[in-house]
Structure 1
């Protein structure tokens, strides 16, 4: 793996669609359907392959319906929209066309978690991971670096299946090498050289936050859900304490997934979960994600204190 610093950075969404454009130029029969009327990263594809770019307008249910028809015709379809709307407005279509009928649609969307907090709660897809986890047979992917985005294009072309990919607009640059990423496993372990009894499990922007902070523990990046449970359990047996962190609501999210897996395999690790707590309702003001994280107690200093507490507890045993 590579250090984040000193690497030429590129937004994860732009990496993905640049590769899609290159694949189309090399002969791949890709069609993009879009419900976003202003997506600069799609401009080159739209200009070069106008007959393979369908803009349905701001109509997410139609986006999925059109994509389903194209998939029925044997086309390689990438649907694109602005989160949270492709999931919240078109859930019935996703459930029927992708989860039930298993049409190999790749549904992509800009915005993950609180990255668009400045636009208000209506534009924060904080429930999307939880919502998509209720559906069977759909991969939910949160790229945490450009290597994952780059490899995703080959993955969707070589292994067609229903996928939902959400891009955090503030994630850029490279953390991993290709050999680190295995979509069948669904996670990658960022190992700390020091021995510890605690691991942080997260995805997306909080992978970056934890790595930048240099937290004294291993960090597991669950970039593709559901993960391979048996392989993950093999990793988790190394730790007494598990901390999950997510830029989304706790109910049904990553923390819930880890609790379900731990319970299924009869393990007794101590688990503490951090996520968005909106017991008083959605934010009433336009703000930024750091404010929302702080209000929910998702802070690097809190994680540092918790890691230190677990380490001291282990030393005293």
Structure 2
């Protein structure tokens, strides 16, 4: 997914000399081509995310369209004040690309677990938020964002997922009438699709764009189901579960929402992979199955909610 987005950034820099790429000590054979071909529009600020946003703001004053790239947890939390004051208060159209999502960096421990990133960005108004679920969507996302005069945050999960093969912001994949609805984004969509392949009655709502929600499609999907499960690798209290609870209240929808995702805690035990945490918190395939068909293993039970 990251490679496809970097290819899209490179193509846009070829077509538009105002696009300026910045990173905070990131590479791994993803940005080196940009550095080599566009050295005058490339800057690595080092491990200094606060400076990253401040420099982006200054570049906007010079007429550039900055694209900033680093680990999701750091670009959302370490420079929160700069995003609020330097970026949003001036409405600068800066694009923030955050690499990794949820427990993608599982072996690195809780400092690198990304379970509260876009929830933090969401508290700042007027920033569009995306989390692509497939390479088809990722391929066109950069052009889509840069066509708008607004700031955006992109949460990029690891993996190159071919399905769903759609470039739509929101996608409703309907199962048999009356079956359960799973709502998801990013890499957890793959778990939902795997369940749908095994259980024809399962419907899946994919939200590649998290803010603003595509209200008409989301409302139509929720109206078709008496209950729905939000599957996400993010804290529910500030993630899509919370957003949809508010959405249902504002639109007077009767759909009963449940959350399947990480518990509201920073887990200190280091797991070898994202799958360890998905199993631990009950939003792997088996955990979701147990939640859908009557067992209580996976539902959120947090004193913080």
Same fold, TM exceeding 0.5? yes
Task: Flag the structure with more relative contact order, 1 or 2, with Cα contacts below 8 A and sequence separation at least 6.
Answer: 1
When the two chains are superposed, the root-mean-square deviation of aligned CA atoms in Å is 1.9
In terms of mean alpha carbon deviation, does 199-208 or 229-238 score higher? 229-238
Alignment match, 1:297: 282
Aligned residues of 2:228 and 2:257 also touching (Cα < 8 A)? yes
1:245 maps to which residue? 231
C-alpha distance in 2 between matches for 1:238 and 1:172:
28
Runs ≥4 in structure 1, deviation > 4 angstroms?
A: none
| Maintained 8 Å contact 1:30/1:78 | yes
The correspondence for 1:205, drawn from 157, 163, 187, is 187
Q: Paired residue for 2:34?
A: 45
Contact preservation (8 Å) 1:36, 1:82: no
Map of 1:45-194 to 2, 5 A cutoff? 45-178=34-167, 181=168, 186-192=169-175, 194=176
Does the Cα contact within 8 Å between 2:93 and 2:151 map onto a contact in 1? yes
Give the TM-score of the pair, scaled to structure 1.
Answer: 0.86
Q: Which moved more, 1:239-248 or 1:265-274?
A: 265-274
**Residues 19 and 150 of structure 1 are in contact (CA less than 8 Å); yes or no, is this contact kept in structure 2?**
yes
SS at match of 1:160: coil
Structure 2, unaligned runs of 5 or more: 296-305
**Structure 1: gaps spanning 5 or more residues:** 1-11, 311-317
Q: C-alpha offsets along residues 68-106 of structure 1, whole Å, 9 cap, x if unaligned?
A: 111122211100112211111000011123332211000
* Equivalent-residue separation in structure 2 for 1:77 and 1:262 (angstroms): 36
CA distance in 1 between partners of 2:208 and 2:55 (Å): 28
Matched residue count? 291
Distance apart, 1:174 and its partner CA: 4.6
Q: Secondary structure at the match of 2:261?
A: strand
What secondary structure, in the 3-state scheme, does the structure 2 residue paired with 1:247 have? coil
Q: CA deviation at 1:189?
A: 1.2
Which SS does the other structure have where 1:252 is aligned?
coil
Counterpart selection for 1:254 from 200, 225, 240: 240
Separation (CA, whole Å) in 1 of partners of 2:24 and 2:93: 18
| Alpha carbons of structure 1 residues 177 and 256: separation in structure 2 relative to 1, 3 Å | closer
With over 3 angstroms needed to count, the CA separation of the structure-2 counterparts of 1:172 and 1:230, relative to structure 1, is closer
Q: Which string of whole-angstrom CA distances, capped at 9 and with x for unpartnered residues, describes residues 188-229 of structure 1?
A: 11222x223421111111111111232431111111122032
Counterparts of 2:163 and 2:30, CA distance in 1:
19
> Do the aligned residues in 2 keep the contact of 1:197 with 1:238 (CA within 8 Å)?
no
- Distance between the aligned counterparts of 2:193 and 2:217, measured in 1? 23
TM-score between the two structures when normalised by the length of structure 2: 0.89
The answer to which of 134-143 and 296-305 deviates more is 296-305
Distance in 1 of aligned mates of 2:163 and 2:221: 24
Structure 1 residue aligned with 2:298: none
CA distance in 1, matches of 2:293, 2:177: 13
TM-superposed CA distance for 1:309, in Å, is 4.9
